Structure 1
Amino acid sequence: MPAQKRTSTDMLDPAIATGPDKENQTVVKAALPSGNTQKSCDEIRQEIRQFIASGQMSANEFQRAIDVSPRSYSEFLSQEGVKGARSATYRNALKFFNGRSGGPVMPLAETQPAATAVGSVPKRAKKNQPASPAAVDLSDVQLVGDEDGSVQVFETCDVVRRKIRAHLRKTGVTQAGFMREAAKAAYPAGTKRLNANSFGEFLKKKGPTAGSSGAVFYASYVYFEKLRIKNGKPKDAFRLEMEKLWPNGFELENAANGRMWCGPNQRPWVDIYGKVHFS
């Protein structure tokens, strides 16, 4: 009996969803090599970040390589734990890395020693000059809403102020440097810059909602959120409570910053989470 020809449909790898509705298609689990244990979502997230940081591909190039949308990619990287297990980014990235035979991804700087001229004496490494904490490359960390400056916020102004002050106390961090890095993180297209006067005014304010409508608060939050994800740190208890109380994100145009109508013998007050109450 003559062998049947395999059609292009038969040869299509089911592990990578394609087409206009690829984000909603059921993705078949890729077969792993014998003896290999399937990696968790967090392991794949870390592997993606290391791969992008190595310079072998940009984030956009990697998205095209595994055939996923920027939204799917951003959502998966912003999640933690088992969240994202059904994401096309997780499945396709898992297959991508399992198909690589080069071993762990190492930054190019660690695999390519600097060339020296023949006969020249290599320069001795300078001591006591740690890299500036403000100069962290956050370009590989993307949040939902990055593209139009609508990232949901889950911290109060007071919390962000404390984080800013603690960050500015670090060796090598300057206010000007932090403002540049925060603006770069929050507005990747370079559409906005932070003003030194506005920055100073924000730090002087007090209260969970004071300064919530300004660019300093938003940009600083996005910077610290991306830094948290970059460093693989978990969310603290206050942050988790904020997500419960503000499921759609903290209100930047908060009612507590304006006038409110009160009934007889009522007095408004704001709790530490920025919620308005009447007593």
Structure 2
Amino acid sequence: MAPKRKSDEFFEGDDGDEYNPKRVALADKDDNAVPVAAPAKKKASKKAEKVTYASWRDVPIEGEDEGDIQIYDDCNDIRRKIRALQKTPGFKITHWLSDIGGINSNSFGRFMKATGPMGGAENGTYEAAYKYFEKVRIMEGKKKTPKRLEAESEHPGGRDPRDSRRKVWVFAGR
């Protein structure tokens, strides 16, 4: 069977390797195609090999087994990520809530209505959604954002999972 285009042809004298489009360039438009070696590739750096996971559930997070996960994103970041996820075509919030840990839809609603960087931090949706987004970030091989790196330096043990604004007592003098 003839190739669809000239560049799909296998050239004899090409070291017997399979066709590699980066190693072959066509010299002219005639049938006189000439193989040309591509420039040498740089040596791969000694990075750790990427680990591929079948699902986001398979990605391990430090402290997850002990139940002591360190959270670095604030509630506003999590709510922003959830809103972006909701815009995905075919996304169903009820399926997602059951996938991330059986979160009640009322609890989710209260978390989404809360305001402020730590508003809703005591809600179970906060930790469950954080774990989901962190696992997806690791699975996709994305880097940490500058805001995340700053939060790691400010809160070395993770953020306090309590909304400190709600537990304030105010005493008025006579």
Same fold, TM exceeding 0.5? yes
In the other structure, the counterpart of 1:219 is 128
**Identical aligned residues as a percent:** 32
SS in 2 for 1:145: coil
Structure with larger RCO (C-alpha < 8 A, sep 6+): 2
- TM-score normalised according to structure 2 size: 0.68
1:239 is aligned, of 138, 142, 148, to 148
Does residue 164 (structure 1) correspond to residue 82 (structure 2)? The answer is yes
For residues 88-120 of structure 1, give each alpha carbon's deviation from its aligned partner in whole angstroms, at most 9, with x where no partner exists. Answer: xxxxxxxxxxxxxxxxxxxxxxxxxxxxxxxxx
Q: What are the residue-to-residue correspondences of 1:77-226 with 2, within 5 Å?
A: 137-183=55-101, 193-226=102-135
The code of the aligned residue for 2:165 comes to A
The code of the aligned residue for 1:255 comes to S
The code of the aligned residue for 2:47 comes to S
- TM-score normalised according to structure 1 size: 0.43
Greater CA drift, 172-181 or 216-225:
172-181
> For the residues of structure 2 that align with 1:246 and 1:203, how far apart are their CA atoms?
24
The code of the aligned residue for 2:139 comes to K
Tell me by how many angstroms 1:220 deviates: 0.3
In the other structure, the counterpart of 1:249 is 158
Tell me by how many angstroms 1:235 deviates: 1.0
> For the residues of structure 1 that align with 2:82 and 2:155, how far apart are their CA atoms?
22
Contact kept? 1:194, 1:215, Cα under 8 Å: yes
Contact kept? 2:120, 2:163, Cα under 8 Å: no
The two structures, once aligned, show a CA RMSD in angstroms of 2.1
The code of the aligned residue for 1:40 comes to K
Q: Can you give the 5+ residue segments of structure 2 that lack an aligned partner in the other structure?
A: 1-42
The alignment covers a number of residue pairs equal to 130
In the other structure, the counterpart of 1:85 is none
> For the residues of structure 2 that align with 1:174 and 1:139, how far apart are their CA atoms?
18
Shift of the 237–261 alpha-carbon distance from structure 1 to 2, 3 Å rule, reads farther
Q: Can you give the 5+ residue segments of structure 1 that lack an aligned partner in the other structure?
A: 1-35, 54-136, 184-192, 265-279
The code of the aligned residue for 2:133 comes to F
Contact kept? 1:153, 1:221, Cα under 8 Å: yes
SS in 2 for 1:220: helix
